[in-house]
Every structure is written in C-alpha cells, then in structure tokens.
Amino acid sequence: MIQGTGSNVGKSLLVAGICRALVRRGLTVRPFKPQNMSNNAAVAEGGEIGRAQALQAMACGVEPSVHMNPILLKPESETGAQVVVHGQRHTTAKAGEYGALKPSLMPKVLESFNQMRGEADIVIVEGAGSPAEVNLRAGDIANMGFAEAADIPVILAGDIDRGGVIAQIVGTKAVISTADAARIKGFIVNKFRGDPALFDEGFKAIESHTGWRGLGTLPWFADSHKLPAEDALDIRSGGNGGFLIAVPQLSRMANFDDLDPLAQELNVRVTMVPAGKPLPGDADLVLIPGTKSTVKDLAFFRNQGWDVDLHAHFRRGGKVLGICGGYQMLGKVIADPCGIEGPAGETKGLGYLDVTTTMIPEKQVSRTKAIHKASGTALNAYEIHIGTTDGPDCNRPVFEVRGQPEGATSANGQVQGSYLHGLFSEDAFRDAWLKAEGAGGSKVAYGAGVEKTLDALAAHIEAHLDIDALLEIAQ
C-alpha cells in the first residue's frame, strides 16, 4: 500500500507507474483504493469509480472495475458528500454522519480487495490523505485502518517539492501509533527537482530517524500533465494555440478531465478562469464544464459576474458549449421538484438554450456509443448525471445515442449542450469538432499518448526506485 504524508503528494501517479512497471515485468497487477474523494469519476461496470483508478486500470492493461475503488465520496457541499458504494449511490452524508457509517463499509471494502487480490499476482493499493491525520484513525478505512484489516505492508511517500520532506516523513512516524509505524516498511521521496544526489544526506537522515528502508528519490516527472488529472488542484491552463477556449472554474466542477485532450492540441489554448476573474473577451469558445451541484454552481457562476461576461461573448458571436451540468445551466429552467440539490423548486437558467431540465432521483451512469450528427463521426463516451432535459432546441441534437437524439443546439447554432463526457478523448471526433470550429483539426493522438506516457512513467520509476525491494516487501 502506497500512503502519503499528505494529500496531493503524487500517490495516484506513483501507483499508476508502479502498476505499469510491474506489468512490464510480466506480472498480473490490479490497482485498489479503498476510499476516494473526488468529483472526477469514471464509469466502470455501470457504476462510478475515481478517475485515478480508471487510469491505474489502464496502466495494468485491464478494464476498470467498481471493486478497484469500492467507496467513492463525491462532495456536494463544504460539509457533505454523496457516498457511492460498489459504483452505486448509497446515501448522502455529512462528515459526522459518515464517521458513523464507516464501520459498516469496511466489509464491503475488504470484499472488493479480496476480489482484486484473487485476480492478480500483486495488488498496489493507494491510500487517501495521510496516516498522520491521527484524529481520523478510529474507524479508518482509507489508510492504516484498512492496512491493518487487510494485513498488508505500507510504503510512505513524501513530497519534496512542497518543502519539509524530512519533517513530513519523520513527523508521520512521531504522531502515529507504534503498531502503525511498524507496518510501514519503507519510504519514497517524490517530486525532486534537480540532481537527486544532492539529497543523499537528507535521505540518510530520514532512514536514521525512522528506521525505515528508503526505496529512492524520484525526480519530477515532467510529462505528468499528459495524464488525466484527478484532483481539482491539478487543473491548469494548457496549450499555446490560437483557438482560445475559456473554462470557468466552477466551485464543484466534475469530470474536468474532459479538458485534458483539448489542452494538448497544438492549435488550441485552454484557459481556466478562476473565481474573481472575468471570462476573457477574446475567447473563441466558452466551455461550461460538468458540476456535482448544478443549481449551486449556477449561483456561483452568477456571483462571479460570468453571466455578464457570457452575454458579451455571445453578442460578439462567440460559441458556447455546455457539458452535463454546464448543459443544464444553459437552459431556461432547472426544476427540482424532489429537492435533490436543495430546497424543492425551480431555478432560472442562463437561457441560451430553449430547454428545461428536471432533476430526478435516478442517476444515469453508463458508457455509450454515439454519432456526431454534424460530421457523422462515431465515438465512445460516458454519462454520469441526474436530470432529464427537453425542449425545442433538443430537436437540433448534437449526437445520436442508442438511436435517440442527444443534446441541444440553439436556433442560431452558437450554443450547444450535451450530457456526454469523454468526447474529446476520441481523436476522430476531436478532429471533426475542431475543424468545424475553425481550429484547424486535431494534431494529437490522445489515447496513444496516454499509453506512451504511462510507459515513460514506468521507466522513470524503474530508473530511480528500488522496485525489487518493493516486491520483496510485498512478499
């Protein structure tokens, strides 16, 4: 199990790279994360898992499974989250309520882990947050609580890029229990910039203070941006092309990896617009992404003044694309008769599409094949959403799915919306769409690029970490 000294120390990428490195050695490998917290989900077996586990499954050369991430928490507010168990919505709970729920979830976590262990020579497990959060140790199912229940050894990863890595690792041992410290069999120093030899004395100091085995100092992996990001903290602008896509950074943005392929295109520049900043006046297209809470993020959108910016963009003839929650926001009305996203009632939308969305309890979670109506291009996509959308603009669909129209286009063609995620990962569709938008077509083979980057990450890890020692510890 790879645990970290904190959040965002690089655990997800480490697990993906180790998985691919071991596959290249001829082993059958599975990834596993007992509990993930992310609104960036992937579809697996008709259910939801964290996007990072889908990438790790790709690194292992297998299809993703709901058992790779049995518990997924999808934040809906500052204090509450939707709890997804084995891919399906289980309940919505606030932090205190979830603490009481965790003991009942451990058997489900172990059930999934045992299934993964039965399929593979080795399972690489990813922790969440840090074991140093000792206030969360009682009832823990994400870090040491799980490691103890599953009786597996732990490797601790620290992030030298943020500074204080010696204190991160030594301090973790200082605050955790003696039993938990004994379960840690080694450590990794991650994200080093420069000559790793310069840290030799620091590395020895960690070994001396902890008694743990050092498995290596891993230099910064410069191509990490070519892999799908899991955490909203990792979202960044990308590309230097002339076609500018402006993306308002919603407070509960979901499935933002939709943007990754566009950011790698040579003719495209993707600009993430943070709260408090205006949408750029020279944007060719404003893309409103998915969100876990459409109504709340619509209010957030208006609070930033982005509705005024969008109106100016529209009057200048600029294009607008809404995906999933962004599609719902572009309609005239969002009706929530059951109070799924808050108090029951109706919310006025941005009004650029003549459609109405009605929130319903049933969630649509599926992989799907679609046809792009304008170009006839076939593509694979996925859906994760609640709500149905209907209205006159749906008579001008963007796609055809299972023989039925999907999405909507405004009468003047400037504004489009769709529930489909993963569109731009498809090279043929991305090429057709960019040509239609006047951006010159695609210059990138995205899927092949992800595979190539995973291989490069595996080689990087093999060159700098002691993988033989890791296997010895696992045995």
pLDDT recorded at residue 231: 60
Q: Which residue do the tokens 């060719």 mark?
A: 284
**Over the stretch 375-430, which tens digit does the pLDDT of each residue have?**
999 999 999 999 999 999 999 999 999 999 999 999 999 999 999 999 999 999 99
Q: How confident is the model at residue 240 (pLDDT cuts 50, 70, 90)?
A: confident
Active site residue 385: no
Residue spans in the chain of domains classed CATH 3.40.50.300 = 2-226
Helix, coil or strand: residue 265: coil
Catalytic residue among 67, 421, 460, 464: 421
* C-alpha distance across the termini of the chain, in Å: 12
Architecture of the domain whose range is 237-444: 3-Layer(aba) Sandwich (3.40)
Q: Does residue 119 contact residue 28 with C-beta atoms inside 8 Å?
A: yes
Kindly report the average pLDDT of the chain as a whole number: 94
Q: Is residue 298 over pLDDT 70?
A: yes
Residue spans in the chain of domains classed CATH 3.40.50.880 = 237-444
CATH superfamily of 2-226: P-loop containing nucleotide triphosphate hydrolases (3.40.50.300)
Q: Is residue 167 over pLDDT 70?
A: yes
Buried residues in 428-439 as b, exposed as e (16+ CB within 10 A)? ebbbbbbeebeb
Active site residue 421: yes
Q: Does residue 359 contact residue 334 with C-beta atoms inside 8 Å?
A: yes
Q: Does residue 81 contact residue 35 with C-beta atoms inside 8 Å?
A: no
* Residue 364, strand partner residues: 385
Whole-angstrom distance, CA of residue 86 vs CA of residue 45: 10
Weakest-pLDDT range from 106-110, 133-137, 167-171, 255-259: 255-259
Q: Does residue 217 contact residue 196 with C-beta atoms inside 8 Å?
A: yes
Catalytic residue among 86, 324, 394, 460: 324
Whole-angstrom distance, CA of residue 231 vs CA of residue 39: 8
pLDDT recorded at residue 361: 86
pLDDT recorded at residue 48: 94
pLDDT recorded at residue 97: 87
CA distances from 472 to 169, 394, 468 (A): 22, 58, 6
Decide the pairing of beta strands 415-418 and 319-323.
Answer: parallel
> 156 CB contacts (<8 Å, ≥6 apart)?
3, 4, 5, 131, 169, 172, 184, 186, 187, 188, 212
Whole-angstrom distance, CA of residue 127 vs CA of residue 113: 13
Q: Is residue 314 over pLDDT 60?
A: yes
Q: Phi, psi (5° rounding) for residue 412? A: -90, 0
**Over the stretch 322-370, which tens digit does the pLDDT of each residue have?**
999 999 999 999 999 988 888 899 999 999 999 999 999 888 999 999 9
Tokens of 335: 């009706």
CA 347 to chain centre: 28
Burial class from Cβ neighbours inside 10 Å (0-12, 13-18, 19+) for residue 354 reads: middle
Polymer length in residues for the chain: 475
The pTM is what? Answer: 0.91
**Over the stretch 439-449, which tens digit does the pLDDT of each residue have?**
988 989 999 99
Helix, coil or strand: residue 245: strand
pLDDT recorded at residue 256: 81
